[in-house]
């Protein structure tokens, strides 16, 4: 039997809100794997020393905001999809170095297909944000027939760099143009973790056919999702993406598929409600 890793962690800042330990520990129990998944709050100033410890003790884990691109830069080896995205959300560490992977792309694909009830074809996406999550979104869009993306971000430098990398499907835009044109709006910023946050887009301006996916998630749905649903729009938060990427990461770490029904039940949402409805 392959030895278990020294530790299984989520590296991010903050991480106290994360539901990953809930469903990952349920999956570990169901698989009979004697480990615990821990959320390890890692301020940016402590990331490098934490990664050194991970290498020394053979940790595996996930990476979340704000560390996905920083961990990518520390990796001695990355998977092709992580290289395309330029960000790592899943890793293995050993004395030989860090190996990085990205399961956000797969998780986003699952979330969109659940929201729409089909694979996207010939749709225009509006993507708000220009970090690692937005890059994963664009990498997924690249794989769908005739799909394009309008990308908006408050900081122009990151925006232009991201669009240049994904120029086959992406063009720079702003939230006004996205509101008027997008078939699917994706919030790939951290706005929405708190109800008092500004909304990334005014849902009152969206067309009636527009679908909304907020990569932020909340136990009662984010404010963006609630307001979109109040308008009668199809909308979902990031929980389906979170579980999808988490299941793919579990398989990458341990070589076995987790029990997804167990993962969803641990979150209080039966598997039949994986789609967008809340």
pLDDT at 273 over 70: no
Residue 269: band (very low, low, confident or very high) from pLDDT cuts 50, 70, 90: confident
CA distance 134 to 153: 10
| Residue range 14-26: mean pLDDT, rounded | 95
Q: What is the pLDDT of residues 210-244, one digit of tens each?
A: 999 999 988 778 999 999 999 999 999 999 999 99
Inter-residue contact 271 to 111 (CB < 8 Å): no
Q: In what order do the strands lie in the sheet with 7-12?
A: 37-41, 7-12, 59-63, 90-94, 97-101, 77-78
Superfamily in which the 105-237 domain is placed by CATH:
NAD(P)-binding Rossmann-like Domain (3.40.50.720)
Return the CATH number of the domain spanning residue range 7-102+242-270: 3.40.50.10860
Domains 7-102+242-270 and 105-237 share a fold: yes
pLDDT at 63 over 80: yes
Residue 270: band (very low, low, confident or very high) from pLDDT cuts 50, 70, 90: low
66 cis-preceded (ω within 30 degrees of 0): yes
Specify whether 68 is catalytic. Answer: yes
Buried b (16+ CB within 10 A) or exposed e, 54-78: bbeeebbbbbbbbbbebbbebbeeb
Question: What was the pLDDT predicted at 276?
Answer: 37
What residues have CB less than 8 Å from 140, skipping those under 6 apart?
105, 108, 109, 112
Residue among 55, 68, 83, 148 flagged as catalytic: 68
DSSP string covering 113-124: HHHHSS---S-E
Question: What was the pLDDT predicted at 162?
Answer: 97
Question: What was the pLDDT predicted at 197?
Answer: 80
Q: What is the mean pLDDT of the chain?
A: 94
Domains of the chain, by residue range, sit at 7-102+242-270, 105-237
pLDDT at 6 over 70: yes
Inter-residue contact 37 to 24 (CB < 8 Å): yes
CA distance 205 to 199: 13
pLDDT at 275 over 50: no
Question: What was the pLDDT predicted at 199?
Answer: 93
């Amino acid at each position: 039997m392959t030895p278990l890793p020294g530790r299984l962690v989520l590296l991010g800042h903050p991480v106290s809100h994360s539901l990953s330990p809930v469903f990952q520990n349920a999956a570990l129990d169901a698989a009979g794997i004697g480990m615990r998944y821990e959320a390890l709050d890692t301020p940016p100033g402590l990331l490098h020393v934490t990664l050194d410890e991970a290498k020394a003790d053979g940790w595996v884990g996930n990476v979340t905001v704000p560390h996905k691109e920083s961990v990518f830069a520390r990796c001695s080896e990355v998977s092709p999809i992580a290289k395309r995205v330029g960000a790592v959300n899943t890793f293995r560490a050993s004395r030989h170095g860090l190996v990085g992977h990205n399961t956000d792309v797969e998780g986003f694909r699952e979330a969109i297909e659940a929201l729409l009830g089909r694979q996207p074809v010939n749709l225009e996406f509006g993507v708000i944000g220009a970090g690692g999550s937005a890059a994963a979104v664009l990498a997924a869009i690249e794989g769908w027939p005739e799909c394009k993306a309008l990308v908006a971000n408050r900081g122009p430098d990151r925006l232009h760099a991201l669009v240049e990398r994904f120029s086959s499907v992406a063009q720079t835009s702003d939230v006004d143009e996205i509101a008027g044109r997008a078939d699917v709006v994706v919030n790939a910023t951290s706005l929405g973790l708190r109800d008092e946050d500004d909304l990334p887009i005014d849902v009152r301006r969206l067309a009636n056919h527009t679908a909304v996916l907020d990569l932020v998630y909340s136990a009662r749905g984010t404010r963006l999702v609630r307001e979109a649903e109040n308008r009668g729009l199809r909308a979902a938060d990031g929980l389906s993406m979170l579980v999808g990427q988490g299941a793919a990461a579990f398989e990458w770490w341990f070589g076995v598929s987790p029990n997804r029904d167990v993962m969803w039940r641990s979150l209080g949402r039966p598997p039949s409600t994986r789609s967008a409805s809340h």
